[in-house]
Structure 1
Amino acid sequence: MTDQEVIWTRLGLGTVAALGVLAVGCSADTETTAPATDALIAQTAAGSTDMSSPSAASGEGEGGVTIAKAATDPVVYLSALAIAKAHVLAARDAYAEGETDAAGEMSAHPVSEVLADMQPVFEARGVADFTALLLDASDAAYAGAPSDAIAKRTEVIVTALRDAEAFAPTDGRSDDAVWAGVVSDQIDRAADMYGVAVGSYQYEPYLDGYGFLKAAEAAFAEHRTAIETSQPRAAAAMSDALSQLQDAYATALRPETLDANPSALKAIASRVQLAVN
């Protein structure tokens, strides 16, 4: 049995099916259908490593990350890590709100949606495999562990993701330019997912978007000074976008009504993209 089969056997077909549903929330430009989930399970049984999302067949991973570019493009590489971070932060906060099943699914989600495709890149760059950390966090959530135990596991995963950031490729761009691209990417995903959430009664799209917001906030907070110095217009647009997204995603729990304007959120996200050099 391959390592990939071991991972998916441990997750179980129920979780695989749940991850197939979650892919709807995480790929705003891709519609996932039951056959797509069936194909995912079939690929799993065959031991395929290209099973992250319906867009994987075109060489893209979670939410349109072009995995083929991750080995050479630091923004793509770091955005993939930010997506994983978004999921574990969302899982932590959802768990604290009593959403144990959603937290368990969200913690495991990056294993299929990001790491399966990124693993060759990580291996080539010498990044330690942190799949087990995500599965452990998922197991703990399903087992009803105390919230502080989930929070501690989240800290360990975030540390592993930070360690992986140090192995990002370089292409001549400055660190502030690269991180501006990552912040913009996460903002755009959060805005996209709000639009998906408005058109769905499912919790997962909203929680995905909440996670992308949290990942964007974390990256901007860490690199804000450098971005403001080199790209003040972009930094101002990011600050405005994050403020509006914070109002839209006020809590990890989906409110009864989603009152923010999806078009307005997408417009401010687009302004960020245009402002980033």
Structure 2
Amino acid sequence: MTFETKLKQWTTLGLGTVLMTGALAGCSEPATPSNETPAEVAQPDSAETPVTSAAEPAAVVGEGESGMGGEGEGGEGEGGVSIEAAYTDPVVYKSAVAVAMAHVLAARDAFAEGEKEAAAEMYAHPVSEVLFDMEPVFQAQGVADFTDLFTDTSAAVFADESQDQINARTDAILKALDAAAIKAPATDKSEGYVSARVVADQINRASAMYRAALETDRYEPYLDGYGFYQTAEKKFTENEAVIKADNADGAAAIRRALTALSSAYPTALRPDPMTGDTSAISVANSEVLLTLSE
């Protein structure tokens, strides 16, 4: 399906304009493109450029979840993922998949809490933020296009489908994302090495988004961070054994960071007041990055 055909479909759902501009309210504003060279090791809660090698988790820029606004230096997509690196680096590739997954988990849980508009937008947003940029990479890895699953689910929310129906659609998206992740580029690094850095990327994003959420009364930054936290928890649970076998200290640091984030993101609804310990979160995030650095 061509971009033009998809855009016509989205326009009928009222999504065409926002997807073209990247202005969906379900996610924070992208950061300004940067010409700086990526750091050798990502800094905790940093505003540096995104991951470009398997040695470092992707960093988050500024207030938003994005690494680069649009196509930045080195071909970074809006979601803070180096598209060029994704062709050969499984950490970058799987981090892109994880960003899409974070939106889906947040959307599902927001829908369950009655936040239908936010849920619909969160289901649709990964298409413009990550999947368009990653499309040629997915093609190179033999992954069939699955973006319609996202836009169809967004439309289903507006069509007043039930929680069970939305959950079933969400499960289909998660299955497609897992299938895409399996086709990540080959590497001589261990499964534990790759998995730990994908989890660390999500932790770093969740940590940065919590600080951003504290600076505004908007719901969206909190919901973004909630999705990143949920994805980090999910991926760590699935891969804890191999991560621990590869780096026991790294696994322990990840668990401490997830514990700190669990208090900051108790539900998909933004707490009032927000009482997460930002210092503890930042310290835990730093420990994860340090234990995984080489």
Normalising by structure 2, we get a TM-score of: 0.82
| Matched residue, 1:7 | 6
2:45 is the alignment partner of 1:29: no
| Matched residue, 2:116 | 100
| Matched residue, 1:251 | 267
- Cα distance between partner residues in 2 of 1:56 and 1:160: 25
2:18 is the alignment partner of 1:19: no
Q: List runs of 5+ in structure 2 lacking aligned partners.
A: 32-59
The 10-residue stretch of structure 1 (261-270 or 205-214) with the greater mean CA deviation from structure 2: 261-270
| Matched residue, 1:167 | 183
2:24, 2:121 within 8 Å by CA — same for their partners in 1?
no
* Mapping of residues 232-251 of structure 1, within 5 Å: 232-251=248-267
The 10-residue stretch of structure 1 (197-206 or 258-267) with the greater mean CA deviation from structure 2: 258-267
2:101 is the alignment partner of 1:85: yes
Residue type matched to 2:71 in 1? A
1:7-31: per-residue Cα shift (whole Å, max 9, x none)?
Answer: 2333334543673544526765256
Task: Give the CA deviation at 1:69.
Answer: 0.4
The 1:31/1:262 distance shift into structure 2, 3 A limit, reads closer
Q: How many residues align?
A: 257
1:211-265: per-residue Cα shift (whole Å, max 9, x none)?
Answer: 0011101110011011112211111111011011011000000112211133431
- Cα distance between partner residues in 1 of 2:191 and 2:144: 23
SS in 2 for 1:88: helix
Structure (1/2) with the larger helix percentage = 1
SS in 2 for 1:270: helix
SS in 2 for 1:11: helix
| Matched residue, 2:34 | none
Normalising by structure 1, we get a TM-score of: 0.87
- Cα distance between partner residues in 2 of 1:188 and 1:170: 25
| Matched residue, 1:229 | 245
| Matched residue, 1:42 | none
1:119-141: per-residue Cα shift (whole Å, max 9, x none)?
Answer: 00001111011101011111111
The 1:200/1:14 distance shift into structure 2, 3 A limit, reads farther
Residue type matched to 1:7 in 2? K
- Cα distance between partner residues in 1 of 2:63 and 2:103: 20
| Matched residue, 2:164 | 148
1:26, 1:205 within 8 Å by CA — same for their partners in 2?
no
SS in 2 for 1:160: helix
1:25, 1:196 within 8 Å by CA — same for their partners in 2?
no
Task: Report the aligned-residue RMSD.
Answer: 2.0
| Matched residue, 2:141 | 125
1:57 to 68, 72, 84: 72
